[in-house]
Amino acid sequence: ISPTPVASASIGQVYRGRLLDGREVAVKVQRPGVMTEIALDLYLLRLLTPLQVRIQNAVNKINTDDNDIATAVALVDEWGRGFVAEVDYTKEAEKTREFSEAMQRRGLNAVTAPEVVFELSTSKVLVTEWVEGSRLDRDASADVPRLCGVAINA
């Protein structure tokens, strides 16, 4: 595994590596303690949501009722569940496989996702084949317009 990451984000870092069988892989590693930070952020967001609703409604000269607050808190909770699910790399691995299968079913063969090495992946580490890709705005493939249509209608 490379000593320095090739990509870095708030949740994790990606390193380039090579398996014993010679395959080049991308190793996505979750930052230590990221779930604790996310849990605290979500707790604070949920705690402050009623105050934010009251202030926003007051500025807009709208009466606030319990339903307004309950709806806003429910939205925060739903967003939080989705965000936490995104941090589970086993779910990301499965979604990657589903994406590849969906593109193949649609005949979008130029659109690929890296193959996941499931036996080396966990909820905090995701190992995939290393893929050199291209940005859609720089790709001359005939599949690009179809892909954009699929993305817009997704």
**Dmax (CA) of the chain:** 66
Phi, psi of 84 (to 5 degrees): -65, -40
- Whole-angstrom Cα distance, residue 114 to residue 30? 18
pTM: 0.72
The CATH code for residues 7-32+88-153 is 3.30.200
Q: Where are the domains of the chain?
A: 7-32+88-153, 34-87
Give the pLDDT confidence of 41-67 residue by residue, as tens digits.
Answer: 999 999 999 999 999 999 999 999 999
Output the pLDDT for position 152: 59
